[in-house]
Amino acid sequence: MTRPTYDPARTGLLFVDPYNDFLSAGGKLWPRVKDVAEQVGLIDNLKAIVATTRERNIQVFIVPHHRWEPGDYRRWKHVNPSQIRSGESHLCAVGTWGGEWHPDFVPREGDVIVKEHWAQSGFANTDLDQQLKQHGVEKVILVGLVANTCIESNGRFAMELGYHVTLVTDATAAYSLEMMHAAHRLNGPTYAHAILTTAELIASLHAKATSVG
């Protein structure tokens, strides 16, 4: 893959699930991703990417998972295993610390907070595609959690809709290194147009800034 360039006016950062339950010590999902997250430097990389995209005036889209509420999934015909676990653990429950934004990634004025997704894709049954189109976005950069579920699902859906997709290998995490390998090395090349590290992405963003400056 050739190194892409990013026109800020046509690029969007898709930050998936920046909740305390996903990213904070004490969060319900954090123990499952902690080892991989710390090995790849997830939190610092996310901070660097968010800071750079804001500096470049790239639109930030928060792509949040549904926050649990009493009655969720009741009488559903086909609840999947992940939804069952989320329901049992009250993942990112409304009105709880776990369902609040990680303190380093609280949305700012001007960020677009997409409607919450119920499963893995931030596009399915939400306004994400409409928001991207209305903002003139053609290239999406995917960061957040989890690499082999929500990140992969969003990337595949974005590609099917005609977007240029960038995966950032160390700005996500999974429950194991094997899952990370599958997400980025085996599955990623089947749909992503660019697979970069945080350092490579930031260099590309700054290179674009230099070329138009």
pLDDT digits (tens, 9 = 90+) for 113-133: 999 999 999 999 999 999 999
**pLDDT tens-place string over residues 146-169:** 999 999 999 999 999 999 999 999
Model pLDDT, residue 1: 54
Which residue has tokens 């119920």? Answer: 118
pTM of the full structure: 0.95
**Domains present along the chain, CATH in parentheses:** 8-212 (3.40.50.850)
For residue 102, pLDDT over 90 is answered with: yes
Count of beta carbons in the 10 Å neighbourhood of residue 3:
11
Report which of 198, 199, 168, 200 is spatially closest to residue 184, judged by C-alpha positions.
168
Model pLDDT, residue 16: 98
